[in-house]
Amino acid sequence: MAAEESALAEPLLVPGKDAGDDAAIMESHLLIPCDTGASFSRSCLNLSNVISGVGMLSVPYALAQGGWLSLALFAFVGAVCYYTGTLIARCMRAGGGGDAVRGYPDIGQLAFGRPGRRAIGAVMYAELYLVATSFLVLEGGSLDKLFPGAGADLFGCRVRGKQLFTLAAAAVVLPTTWLRDLSVLAYVSAVGLVASAALTASLLWAGVDEHGFHRNGGNVLNLAGLPTSLSLYFVCFAGHGIFPTVYSSMKKKRDFTKVLLVSSVLCSLNYALTAVLGYMIYGDDVQALVTLNLPSGKTYTRIAILTTLITPLAKYAIVIQPITIRLEEKLSLASHGGFTRAVISTAVLVSTTVVACTVPFFGYLMSFIGSSLNVTVAVLFPCLSYLKIFMPRGGTSRAEVAAIVGILVIGVFIAVVGTYTSLHQIVGTL
């Protein structure tokens, strides 16, 4: 028993540990006043910025895939992700306070030891890599909508459309990936909340100006499309990997549950409004990127596309930085200076660009991320870690254990079915 207690009391974050560096990186990009911690309102802003992302562009498509009744599943996914977020906070407190548990992999080590840290770290890096890839897919598709028919000759080959703009977006973000300190981009990333509101306003404008809100295509329930809908809904509430960092940054950590509730409700309302507006305007013809449905040449189209372009360009470097640092450590190149860092980050960018050009299907890619990775990070790991930490201590009731096991069963089902469906769709369109 004493050995177990000493293991739990041992600090998980010491110089040189993998996740400590990643947690510090992500924390440096939150809006945190020095020496005081983030206030309640600033924490709400940080967490809302984490939750609200590119998933907003695909929620109308998710609604079209599942039908109107899938909104009930949207609410269910939001409730489950909120609950698992509270489980993460409880696991953080189980570490004994201080710097014992700061990042998500630390929870894995607290629950399952070194294998838990490795497993959660591997999933997080895979998620970050695919999210970075989805940014480039988003940039290529949106710019192609803004400048249709564009083409250029590159190294003797004619490149046009989405692939051309994906390459252009990669060229723009390349210099930012060479930077070690990305604190300036954190403030640019904060405009993501403004971009979300601008997209919703643009859809409302489009409905009033063009199509109206009575487009045919009102599926009540489409069982075949539910796996895709559920996967995309999980993308909307992704961000659990950064929840521990937001928790650690707060001045009053006991308020995290309230912050999570406020942020989840606000983001859910904006997501739901965007989904309903997009589906009412474009019906079953809504595309995986709702911005692609907006008519070319309109002011609101330009506003929607330009605002949704800023955040991915700013966040790309932030998203891949933990991957770059991990590769430096793995290859023992961290002490070789900026040139080595530039080479590694460039290699990561090139690889994500190749994937983005090869699989340019935003909806299918986001569905795969949601089902295979977001479900794992947002549902499976928090539930399993919580049970492993608290059940031996007698800190769980039978009703709570039954509820968590039920969530785990549902999560595994969604992960398996959603991953199979999204991979089948991607392969079928290649």
Buried b or exposed e, range 228-240, using 16+ CB within 10 angstroms: bbbbbbbbbbbbb
- Report in angstroms the alpha-carbon separations of 385 from 86, 88, 144: 12, 8, 44
pLDDT band (50, 70, 90) for residue 97: low
Could you say which architecture CATH assigns to the domain 2-429?
Up-down Bundle (1.20)
Residues in the chain: 430
Count the neighbouring beta carbons within 10 Å of the beta carbon of residue 382.
Answer: 29
Reported as type and span, the H/E element at residue 160 is: strand 157-160
Q: Which of 231, 216, 229 is nearest to 285 (CA)?
A: 216
pLDDT digits (tens, 9 = 90+) for 6-29: 333 333 333 344 445 566 666 666
pLDDT band (50, 70, 90) for residue 205: confident
| DSSP string of 36-105, one letter each residue | T-B-HHHHHHHHHHHHSSGGGGGHHHHHHHH-TTHHHHHHHHHHHHHHHHHHHHHHHHHTTSTTS--SHH
Burial label for 118, CB within 10 Å (0-12, 13-18, 19+), is: middle
Q: How far is 133 from 155, CA to CA, in rounded Å? A: 23
Which pLDDT belongs to residue 1? 44
CA dihedral 368, 373, 376, 381 (to 10 degrees): 180
Q: Average of pLDDT values for 327-333?
A: 77
Top pLDDT among 164 and 96 is at 164
pLDDT band (50, 70, 90) for residue 430: low
Which pLDDT belongs to residue 5? 39
Q: How far is 360 from 426, CA to CA, in rounded Å? A: 9
- Domain residue spans of the chain: 2-429
What is the largest distance, in Å, between two alpha-carbon atoms of the chain?
70
Which pLDDT belongs to residue 13? 37
pLDDT band (50, 70, 90) for residue 85: very high
Say which residue the tokens 């899938």 belong to.
70
Which pLDDT belongs to residue 31? 66
pLDDT digits (tens, 9 = 90+) for 219-276: 888 888 888 888 889 888 878 888 887 888 888 888 999 999 999 999 999 999 999 9
With a pLDDT cut of 90, the percent of the chain lying above it is 21
Which pLDDT belongs to residue 3? 43
pLDDT digits (tens, 9 = 90+) for 275-305: 998 888 888 888 888 888 888 778 888 888 8
Whole-prediction pTM: 0.81
Which pLDDT belongs to residue 350? 94
Which residues lie below 8 Å from residue 208, measured CB to CB, with a gap of 6+?
none
Which pLDDT belongs to residue 16? 41
The answer to whether residues 341 and 328 touch, using CB atoms and an 8 Å cutoff, is yes
For helices 114-146 and 299-330, the axis angle rounded to 10 degrees is 150
Count the neighbouring beta carbons within 10 Å of the beta carbon of residue 198.
Answer: 18
Per-residue tokens: 297 = 């040449």
Which residues lie below 8 Å from residue 221, measured CB to CB, with a gap of 6+?
66, 67, 68, 69, 70
**35-39, 65-69, 410-414: which range is least confident on average?**
35-39
Which pLDDT belongs to residue 328? 82
Which pLDDT belongs to residue 298? 82
The answer to whether residues 132 and 106 touch, using CB atoms and an 8 Å cutoff, is no
Q: Is pLDDT at 363 greater than 80 in this prediction?
A: no
The answer to whether residues 67 and 61 touch, using CB atoms and an 8 Å cutoff, is no
